[in-house]
Structure 1
Amino acid sequence: MGKRILVILGHPASNSFCGALAECYAQSAVRAGHEVRQLFLGAMDFDPVLREGYQQTQPLEVDLRRAQADIVWAEHLTLVYPIWWGGVPALLKGFFDRVFLPGFAFKYRKGKAFPEKLLQGRSAHLLVTMDTPSWYYRWIYRMPGLHQVRKTTLEFCGIKPTRTLTFGPILGSKAAQRETWLKQANAIASR
């Protein structure tokens, strides 16, 4: 029996290699019998800035309310994004800031050091591109853009990352290498 999968493209351009990875993953998951929905952050209409922090409630735009409904619907999330300046693109960070809110993704509890995780029971895949060689990003930079998403965003809210694939360097990569990377995305989506 298939899962309900939400594929989130965190690159602002859907015609990027990240866009190709997201589309390949989604098509492969559908062929494997999963139900798939997709979010293209670059096509959504929302303010990525949490204007007052958590001091005031900032009304959610229609696209963000739909995104929250899709996250609740999903059993599995797949995030596809590039590493820029060692971290996630501003658009993806803004999406997290605006959507993964207290009361939706987590809940502070009086007298408790850690909040209640409101999105438990979901898993996630991360498909991440970069221009830095993957080994260098891992061992020299210590993967801040992966830790931020896996540990301090998804796991904080109860979503369990089960697989992370890194693709790079994208800059200067040949068509054959990109085809190999697309096959890797196809393989994990087919499971």
Structure 2
Amino acid sequence: MRSSEEIIDYLNQLREEQDVSISELARRVGMAKSGVSRYFNHTREFPINRAPAFAKALHIKTEDLLGLEPINQNKPRMVPLLGTIAMGAPITAEQNIEKYIPEYMMDRYADDTLFALRCQGDSMYPLIPNGAIAIIRQQADVEDGEVAAVLINGEATLKKVLHVGKTVVLRPANPDYKDIILDKDHPGTILGKMIKYEMNFD
């Protein structure tokens, strides 16, 4: 999946190829020009939930804009939606599972351990809306700028991860919230990387 900066670079390329101004693009996606300009000036993260509108405006598929592979639509995979996470237990242990949800996944994740978390609050808005179901690939670390599920004091949170020396910084997308610093005195465990989110589950 492309980063926010890569998505904007791709949108710029498409705009130039199709001779579409920022004003015209803003009109097509139903936004103010000033709001769209902030994306292209890299002063605001590009929110994933806006991708379908921008893709349609520039006549491409949403998966193409986000840099996703085609999804296998033949058979859904049942992904565990986690409730309370028991300290010390495996992340997908039965006592942690609230229910299973059907999810059509890209073939590249066929052999990976996946789980889902229910997003609550607005600390990751506008990147991830409140109420979304985040699909997580279990892995012990992530690259800088990627969104990860992190276990802190028995609770999982979704944040962008930044590595600063031996310190890990968990950064919200919403500037109204402060960074969370993980170190030897305030430990946390990266559970996995968010690969997508959905809004259509109960």
TM-score, length basis structure 2? 0.25
- Pick 1 or 2: higher relative contact order, CA cutoff 8 A, min separation 6: 1
Give 1 or 2 for the bigger CA radius of gyration: 2
Greater helix share, 1 or 2? 1
TM-score, length basis structure 1? 0.26
